[in-house]
Chains A and B, each alone.
Chain A
Amino acid sequence: MTAVVTGIDALQYFIPEFILGITGFAILAAGMFGSSRKVNASITFVSLAASFVYTLTMFNHPVYVLSSTFLLDNFGLYFMLLFLAAGMLITFPAIINISAKSEIFFSLLLFTTVGMIIAASSSNLIVLFVSFEAVSTGTYVMTAFHKTERTLEASTKYFFTGAVSTSIIVLGISYFYEATGTFYLSPSPAIISSGAMLVSLILLVIGFGFKLAIFPMHQWAIDTYDGSENSVSAFLSTGSKLVAFMIMLRVFVSGFYGDANDFYIIFTLLAIVTMTYGNFSALSETNLKRLLAYSSVAQAGYLILVFSAAGYAIGISDTNLMEYAVAAGMIYSLVYIFMKGGAFLAMNLSSTKKVDVSDLSGLNKKSPAAALSLSILLLSLAGIPFTGGFLGKFFLFLALIEVKLWWLAVIAILNSAVSVFYYLRVILVMYRGEPSENIKVSSLGVIPLVVCAAAVIILGVYFALFSTVLGFVGGLFR
């Protein structure tokens, strides 16, 4: 059972946040004395790793703290690990991108991560909202870093769209309060079918969907991923995106409790449009970062298939299938961090800011390891067997098939078939093209790729992970 902890004892559950927060201020202070980029990055990495290790010890003791505004269950802890991993992934590659005032960047990274892990440890809409905004604000600044024309444009678009979506979220939350009289996420089935509640759910889909980049709210993502620094793009499309996914899981999995009104249809439509739009737009794109951004939109479409499957499962009151669908989404998120993060970090191999597909031409001749790793990551994004991407899609589509949404699974599979085209195009160019002059191979550029590719391969054969993750989902439904 979930224990309730009050008073000063509650502080021990915030040690991961404290580690990151205090280190963040320490880095800022050290920056005044001129600490180097590498030192700052190392400190950041160590504190993220320490926080990661401490989080590992917190598993299997679900607990409510601070008047139940915070809930530390295995589901949230799992996502905390993912966010910390996403942070660690970009720490060292960021050295390449961040030329000045690195202490500000790294402390921002830490503060943003604090926002993320707070989001992962709450089931109260106000806390979720505030932490979500903390993540947004942190990433606005990270996007605008260096204040060049490109980054400023990227950040402006991100910020304004974010502002719109924030207002939509607030509107959604007020409808939620109107319907339930509380900010806690465990409404009873009777309330759920009320009109105000459903309006609230739709508004929240749109509001949180902005960060996830699902169809009508995706347009900022293309420009922002393209315009910001490579490691920031990687962070936006992994950590920050998964925060939205995690919050949506929290909100909608509880919100679906008794989905008598076929709410899953909304998600299904959004998923189809998002996948199709992302994949088809990427087909003829020549700017590699934009291509990855479109693919990131398509991946968001795959992610929200989870809600279709889970919603349908709960509509036929089958909790097992619902847990299965959610676990599939969680596995996909884990793999997604490495494959998408790694792919964006691969942009560091090009010396230009705007990376075209042809800029990586002949990469194989300059760095076989980088070419092979990037190929593995792209194949994983396409869902080729023996990569983590295959496993994620496998469980996801299996969840759809289990709930008898055959046609949706077919659409999703056709979509990933389409996506193979543009991923293979990049691989072809890397192996067949003449070496491009813009390739700049450095150990900081290559090592993260190799790490991500290795992680993707390991996840691709480690089937047993699924049953572990399935065990984490149980805490979601009370």
Chain B
Amino acid sequence: MDLALIAWFVFLSPLIAFPLSYFAGLKWKNWSGIIASSSIAVSLILSFILYLYYSVPVHSSYNWFYSFNYGIFVDHLSIAMVMMVSFVSLMIHLFAIYYMGKDPNRHVYFAETSLFTAGMLGLVLSSNLLEFFLFWELVGLCSYLLIGFWFFKPNAASAAKKAFIVTRVGDMSFVIGLAVLYSSLSPLTANPLSIPFLINNMPFVLSVLGSGKLALVSILFLGGAIGKSSQFPLHVWIPDAMEGPTTVSALIHAATMVTAGIYLVARIYPLYYYSGPDVLYTLAIIGSFTAIFAGILGLVVNDIKRILAYSTISQLGYMLSALGLFSVIGLSAVGYAMFHLFVHAFFKAMLFMGAGVILLTLMELRDVKRMGGLWKRMPITVSIIFIGALALSAIYPTAGYFSKDEIISAAYVYMTSSGAWYYALPWIFLTVGAFLTAAYTFRMFFLVALGKPRSELADHAKDPSILVLLPLIPLAILSIIYGFFRGDFLSYLGGSNNLYVPLYIKYLPLTLALLGILVTYLIYGRETWMHMDLSKSRVYSLVKNKFYMDKLFTGSVAERGILPISGKFASFENSYNTDVEKLGRHALDLGTAMRKLQSGVIESYFALIILGSAVVFIIALIVGVI
């Protein structure tokens, strides 16, 4: 069986569906969703075939130009990733057939989501970092299009722009990293950006680049990952990205977009552990700080989708910090991070789709403070959200418990492995993060599910037909049981689970999570919160304003920093603009004058030929040719 060919079609299938679903959708609207979904089903089946028949890494690549190749590289990591991406994406697509069912532009939607998925699958299978980068940008472009899918809403349009521009900052860093790596390696090797080459020849790469430059490259790549995976300080785009359709949020948060950053680090992980402990510490500290930072922000938001968005940022922080713990868990770090990524994809897709169902019944009412009492009215949907909330809060025995608490345990070992005080920070952040996760998750859940309905719409809410919720069921099952496959998963990715921590450390995060649930229940489960007035609290307003991060970027950096400068440039340009316009007019006049030569009189043509030839001869004489 030609695995390479199969791997090509894993991402070609949705790519082919991209124009098909659009053009079919022009005529028969309902077909576009079916075409897109079935193309992704094909991807899923092909990824399974890859999984079943895989024996050795498959690398097939062709020359594109110069020393840049394009091709596919299949190993355990990419197989696992394509299975997850195509599976979750398929579930979301199936759900979207219902969710987007009434949108007049749904053929555009499905064309774009299949392109989105194709971009992500192509990124996962890329054999060359340049190819990886192109797919990376394709994913970025699709996220822009989809976040702004309801472009007639000003919020959505500006959110799409924000997502695009903020991730561009990271992409810039990524592309500079590519340039540095390429320029250093290209004199010495034929194909410097090939992924299999990089991950198999790290000693050589290290000897060529030297540790300083290698660390620089790793950090620059990390910059790309931070932008894409929305880590601090480039996390600001994700909450606004909630303006898109909820299924898009599910895609972005679970399968296609934000996981790309983590996958980039995992894909070229040897680059990181050869870069030395400082770079790895950077991963751990950025990840863990983001985990706690986003957790705090999640506590004060009232928009149900934004709460989930902050939880994504926070969970991605866990994954990134797991990748920084190489010194204690070795190559299992990839497995730790990827396992959390998988579990997170399952329950986050489910949570978003559950939230989508609620939003559809409540006519896009997103304020959790105006919901309430939905458990009685939408029992199935809210139960599914409950499972998701448990998994997100990492309560035993859901998969979240296995994936997250092991990372926290590893961070504890990381702390004890070194005497330096700052090695304790990741563990502290992640442990507090566990409490915060449970707190913001259940704050949302209690506000949604318990109490009395606090709006007319919430009072009349009803479960949709069970058929609609069908795609959520496999995700729910996986969210519950997938944790028990952790050992298999780790060994598939070439890691192992042999971490020993004291029992009280092991169960500390779980205890804190349960405590978090208890505290939130006391406040939000019983309507105590209605009597609290936080608006005067300075801490509350600090958090409510997202630590002024957005204000910093838009206010200080953009408005006070960049805008005045660009204003000066603008006035500088304006003064020249008139001159430039004159230049353009003169060019036009010059052209018109030149065309006067074209009199239509053939005698004058001959005259020009003879004159011109004479000039050529004279010039030849002058420059000394003759």
Residues B591 and A463 in contact, CB atoms below 8 Å apart = no
Q: Which residue of B lies closest to A219 (CB)?
A: B605
Taking a contact as CB atoms under 8 Å apart, the answer to whether A198 and B595 are in contact is no
Contact at A284–B624, with CB atoms within 8 Å? Answer: no
If over half of B's interface residues share one DSSP class (helix, strand or loop), that class is named, otherwise mixed; here it is helix
Q: How far is the CB of A212 from chain B (nearest CB, A)?
A: 14
B396 at the interface (CB under 8 A from A): no
Is residue A282 contacting chain B, with contact meaning CB distance below 8 A?
Answer: yes
A477 within 8 A of B: no
Assembled-state Cα–Cα distance A215/B623 (Å): 20
CB contacts (< 8 Å) of B591 on chain A: these are: 280-285
**Cβ of A346 under 8 Å from chain B:** no
B620 touches A216 (CB 8 A): no
- For the A-B complex, the count of residue pairs with Cβ-Cβ distances under 8 Å equals 97
B5 within 8 A of A: no
Contact B595 A285 (CB under 8 A): yes
CB distance from B485 to the nearest CB of A (A): 42
A220 in contact (CB, < 8 A): yes
Cα distance, A223 to B615, chains bound together (Å) = 24
- The digit string for A242-285, where 1 denotes a CB below 8 A from any CB of B, is 00000000000000000001110110011000000100111111
Interface, chain A (partner B; CB < 8 A): 156-157, 160-161, 164-165, 168, 195, 198-199, 202, 205-206, 210, 215-217, 219-220, 222-223, 261-263, 265-266, 269-270, 277, 280-285, 418, 463-464, 466
**Is B421 part of the contact surface with A, judged by Cβ < 8 Å?**
no
Q: Is the CB of A217 within 8 A of B612?
A: yes
Q: A280-B587, A281-B591 are in contact. Are A216 and B626 (CB under 8 A)?
A: no
Contact of A464 among B65, B589, B590, B605 (CB under 8 A): B65
Closest A residue to B617 by CB, please name it: A202
Taking A269-B619, A281-B591 as given, write out 6 further A-B residue pairs in contact, using a Cβ cutoff of 8 Å, ordered by the A residue number. A202-B613, A210-B609, A219-B597, A219-B604, A223-B600, A463-B64
Instruction: Give CA–CA (A263, B616) in the complex, Å.
Output: 11
Neighbouring B residues of A156 by C-beta, 8 Å: 602
In the assembly, what is the distance between CA of A461 and CA of B537, in Å?
59
Chain B residues whose C-beta falls within 8 Å of the C-beta of A261 in the assembled complex: 624-626
Tell me the bound Cα distance from A157 to B65 in angstroms: 45
**Chain B 318-337 interface residues, beta-carbon cutoff 8 Å to A:** none
**B residues with CB within 8 A of A:** 62-66, 587-592, 594-595, 597-598, 600, 602, 604-606, 608-609, 611-613, 615-617, 619-620, 623-626
Distance of A361 from chain B, by nearest CB (Å): 20
Please give, as numbers and ranges, the residues of chain B lying within 8 Å of A466 by CB-CB distance.
65
The answer to whether A262 touches B625 (Cβ under 8 A) is yes
Write the chain A residue with the least CB distance to B64. Answer: A463
Q: Tell me how far the C-beta of A321 lies from the nearest C-beta in chain B, rounded to whole angstroms.
A: 16
Q: Which residues of A contact B624 (CB under 8 A)?
A: 261-262
Contact of A198 among B63, B590, B608, B625 (CB under 8 A): B625
Q: Which residues of B contact A219 (CB under 8 A)?
A: 597-598, 604-605, 608
Q: A205 — which chain B residues lie within 8 A by C-beta?
A: 616
Question: Which of chain A's residues have a CB closer than 8 A to the CB of B616?
Answer: 202, 205-206, 216, 266, 269-270
Secondary structure dominating the interface of A:
helix
Given contacts A199-B626, A202-B620, A262-B624, is CB(A216)–CB(B595) below 8 Å? no
Hey, which chain A residues are within 8 Å of B617, CB to CB?
Answer: 202
| Complex interface: chain A residues within 8 A of B625 (CB) | 198, 202, 261-263, 265-266
Which 9 A-B residue pairs are closest in the complex by CB-CB distance? A216-B612, A463-B65, A283-B591, A280-B591, A219-B605, A284-B588, A281-B594, A261-B625, A284-B591
How far is it, in angstroms, between the C-alpha of A52 and the C-alpha of B625 when the chains are bound? 41
Chain B CB within 10 Å, residue with most, of A210, A277, A281: A281
Contact of A216 among B64, B587, B602, B608 (CB under 8 A): B608
- Across-interface contacts of B608 in A (CB, < 8 A): 216, 219
Q: Kindly state the separation between the CA atoms of A252 and B613 in the bound complex, as whole angstroms.
A: 18
Whole-angstrom CA separation of A280 from B63 in the bound complex: 39
Q: Find out whether the CB atom of A222 lies under 8 angstroms from the CB atom of B592.
A: no
Provide the residues of chain A in CB contact with B613, threshold 8 Å.
168, 202, 206, 216
Say whether, besides A202-B617, A283-B587, A464 and B63 are in contact (CB < 8 Å).
Answer: yes
A160-B594 contact in complex given A262-B625, A265-B623, A418-B587, C-beta closer than 8 Å: no
- A3 and B613 CA atoms in complex are apart in Å by 40
Q: How long is the Cα–Cα vector from A206 to B587 in the complex, in angstroms?
A: 28
A161–B612 CA distance with the chains assembled, in angstroms: 14
24 A-B pairs (CB sep. < 8 Å): A156-B602, A165-B609, A198-B625, A202-B616, A202-B620, A205-B616, A206-B612, A216-B609, A216-B611, A219-B598, A223-B598, A261-B624, A261-B626, A262-B625, A265-B625, A266-B616, A266-B620, A269-B616, A281-B591, A283-B587, A284-B588, A463-B64, A464-B63, A466-B65
- CB neighbours of B595 from chain A (8 A): 281, 284-285
Residues of B within 8 A of A215 (CB): 612
Contact partners of B609 in chain A: CB under 8 A = 161, 164-165, 206, 210, 216-217
Residues of B within 8 A of A160 (CB): 602, 606
Q: Which residues of B contact A266 (CB under 8 A)?
A: 616, 619-620, 623, 625
Partner of A164, one of B597, B606, B619: B606
- CB contacts (< 8 Å) of A210 on chain B: these are 609
B590 touches A280 (CB 8 A): yes
With a cutoff of 8 Å between Cβ atoms, the chain A residues found around residue B620 in the complex are: 198, 202, 266
Q: How far is it, in angstroms, between the C-alpha of A223 and the C-alpha of B598 when the chains are bound?
A: 8
Contacts of B587 in A (CB 8 A): 280, 283, 418
Q: Which of B587, B598, B600, B624 has the most CB of A within 10 A?
A: B598
Bound form: Cα–Cα A195–B609 in Å: 22
